[in-house]
Copies of this chain bind each other. A is one copy, B any other.
Amino acid sequence: MTDTRYGYECAPWELRWHTLDVDALPRTESAFALSNGHIGLRGTLEEGEPRGLPGTYLNGFYEQHELPYAESGYGYPEEGQTVVNVTDGKILRLLVEDEPLDMRYGAATAHERVLDFRSGTLRRVTEWSSPTGRRVRVSTERLVSFTQRAVAAIRYEVEPVDEDLQLVVQSDLLANEPIESDTKDPRVALALKSPLVGEFHHATDLNAVLVHRTRRSELRVAAAMDHQIEVDNGVHTHIHSEEDLARLTVAVNVPRGGRLRITKFLTYGWSAQRSVPALRAQAESALAGALQTGWDGLVAEQRQFLDDFWATSDIEIEGDPELQQAVRFALFHLLQAGARGETRAIAGKGLTGPGYDGHAFWDTETFVLPVLTYTMPDATRDALRWRHSTLDKARERAAQLGLRGAAFPWRSINGAECSAYWPAGTAGFHVSADIADAVLRYVAATGDDEFERTHGAELLVETARLWSSLGHFDHHGQFRIDGVTGPDEYSAVVDNNIYTNLMARRNLRGAVQVCGRHPEAVAEFGVGSGELDRWRAAADAMALPYDEELGLHPQSEGFLQHAEWDYEGTPPECYPLLLHYPYFDLYRKQVSKQADLVLAMHLCGDSFTPEQKARNFAYYEARTVRDSSLSAGTQAVMAAEVGHLELAYDYLAEAALTDLHDLHDNVRNGLHMASLAGAWQGMVAGFGGMRDHGETLAFAPRLPAQLGRIAFRLTFRDTRFEVAIDRDHATYRVLAGKPLDVLHHGDRVTLTTEPQRFSIPKIDAGAAPVQPPGRAPVRRDATKMRQFGGWRAEHS
């Protein structure tokens, strides 16, 4: 039985879909997207149509457009960037006796697509009857190679079912596909309408190449394809190229019982610098490598890569099969987003869709990189090298804003600020502390001294300089950071946001420490001893407002004196609030779009007592509406810490299912990487209770009643280990590497390859806090879920 609400079948290692709901295609294209962090292909049908958005994305490849302002201001970014759908090589069109295979016509008697988390491929089987009754079975499998980052490949097979058939397959490279844009801004729409200017095309034998560049950003892309054709009968092929199209046409008569198999190898090269011949050569050489490896070789490499990944990163869950699937789906897509980015950004949507214009946000450092740090640390290193590569732009931005050091952008593809609404963009300075935090975490988790010296130190020093110039000592000697925006986007331009101040403090102290470890950095970056003293003093005097009377931390100064939002008077259809109420009203009331102080309590938990955490958590629970997909994972973590395990479970499920259940009704534009990361956070930091803000990695495992057992694998300082948690005990075991000291519920223990079992102390958290009316997470009932989802073996 298929879960008829969401369309996906429940299975532990794959995402399977076997209805043909044309309206649902756009969101399945995001879920079925393949990527290696370098190239991304949306999960469109091979025949190109019907489809939502075609979507072939190259990391760092964008078009520029003017940002319009009815009332402009100093320092407003003038140019926006938006991800571009490049030359589409996914297309293989099929004519069955002159009738095009199109799922909107004729009849599909079977249709199934499977994203396989272990093979790293997307498989499809379609049985289709043409309007005149000719039946074919089309089987495809495709991959975007983790091992050969410029390469994608598609195996395409057609079998006549009832009779001999003439089949014609057209395999395209298609540039400037017409797409519908959601944007209302005519300038953005124009920029995206036909973004590529043809510069070169060539076709010969079974291969072709197209080279284009964008009009304004002047980035160049080469797309190349080659083919292998396997069929018994004589085949007629023709290849052709023009400015925006290269096409291999294959015509053949296939008898009943026979099969046409085409393997398409597809490569991309892009650059802001390289010439047309150089990029053409780059794409064609990648093609040569792919052909040499061959389809079977690529598939085998892919499987090996994923076997390694799961061996280090898997999370097992007993008691909730749908959650098991969702968490593996999340890990698979996080891997896809980060695996081969290699000094390019990890965007908010990865490479799965055009949402957020393809921009990277603080999401990456705060939500995605912690996952990668403990599962695939090289991906974290590479993502931080991207930030490092944009330091010049961040320094220019800081100087433009009258600040020292580096001010990283709120949203960007190339490192330049693209946020056109400064109270929610520029003022969100915490992104720079989030980057510093990710550097500190990565270095602590890996001991990568080389990275710290070559990249980390400069990032820490320049962001510390930002904070030092952004804050000031008031007449009581407190170090205040005024007029900034914290994580909660329903508050803006506030004084002493606790999250921001705590993260800035960590940033300042981290910079002091790195200068101590790397005296050459002190010299190289011109850090004076007066500067180090000021950082220390600022960190020590950091303002952290606390309301003694209420016994609460305000998320920012004055927050607790603001009016309450009228939650009772807000009907369900008026969420998300920002679409129905003005910013001015949201900003001045006690309503949080997302975890803000609660995120501070997670990431900087050592700055709060357990009693403060419990009180604060309950207070903000009643005022957090979760209009942001960034929130549920953090709420899961803190709910677990303060002992509300069922609530944590509900939040974790929400984070994990955000995309599979399309909770925000926008998954057609791409997956929410931070929410997928929130699923891992909910498991590892929530039920595992992992914290990394102390000297020693700490765990405080505790399961909700619904789950029988969970187990997760992490890597810390080259030691790979597993934490398995059941009702009353946690079992730790080193899988590879040296013994490791960790804390279990506050007790130091040394992990070895021998499993060690520790009991879990009880916690009585009292009554669960309440959320605003209608904003509680869906109460998760795994038993009930199984009725919908269930194992495919059991139900279909």
Chain A residues in the interface with B (C-beta under 8 A):
67-75, 80, 184-185, 400-402, 419-424, 426-427, 472, 474-475, 480, 482-484, 492-493, 495, 557-558, 561-563, 578-585, 587-589
Contact = CB atoms under 8 A, between A and B. Distances in A.
B495 A558 contact: yes
B73 A578 contact: yes
Nearest to A562: B482
Contacts of A483: 562, 584-585, 587-589
16 contacts: A67-B70, A68-B69, A69-B70, A71-B421, A73-B421, A74-B581, A401-B584, A426-B582, A475-B561, A480-B561, A482-B563, A482-B589, A483-B587, A483-B589, A484-B588, A493-B587
Contact of A70 (B185, B557, B579, B587): B185
Nearest to A424: B71
A68 to B, nearest CB: 4
A699 to B, nearest CB: 39
A670 B485 CA distance: 38
A584 B584 CA distance: 16
A35 to B, nearest CB: 27
Chain A facing B: main interface SS? loop
Contacts of A73: 421, 578, 582-583
Contact of A482 (B72, B400, B472, B588): B588
Given A70-B185, A74-B580, A472-B563, A585 B495 contact: no
A427 B495 CA distance: 18
Nearest to A73: B583
Contact of A401 (B67, B482, B561, B585): B585
B493 A584 contact: yes
Nearest to A570: B402
A184 B72 CA distance: 10
Q: Which of A69, A424, A583, A584 has the most CB of B within 10 A?
A: A584
B482 A583 contact: no
Contacts of A72: 184
A493 B482 CA distance: 13
Contacts of A585: 401-402, 483
B74 A583 contact: yes
Given A482-B562, A482-B563, A483-B587, 10 more contacts: A67-B70, A70-B421, A74-B579, A74-B582, A75-B582, A401-B582, A423-B584, A426-B582, A474-B561, A482-B561
A422 B582 contact: yes
B583 A422 contact: yes
Contacts of A588: 482-484, 493, 495
Contacts of A185: 68, 70
Given A401-B584, A422-B584, A74 B578 contact: yes
A73 B424 CA distance: 12
Contacts of A561: 474-475, 480, 482, 495
A331 B517 CA distance: 71
A474 B482 CA distance: 23
Contacts of A562: 480, 482-483, 495
A190 to B, nearest CB: 12
Contacts of A74: 578-583
Nearest to A423: B423
B427 A584 contact: yes
Nearest to A68: B68
Contacts of A578: 73-74
A401 B581 CA distance: 7
Contacts of A580: 74
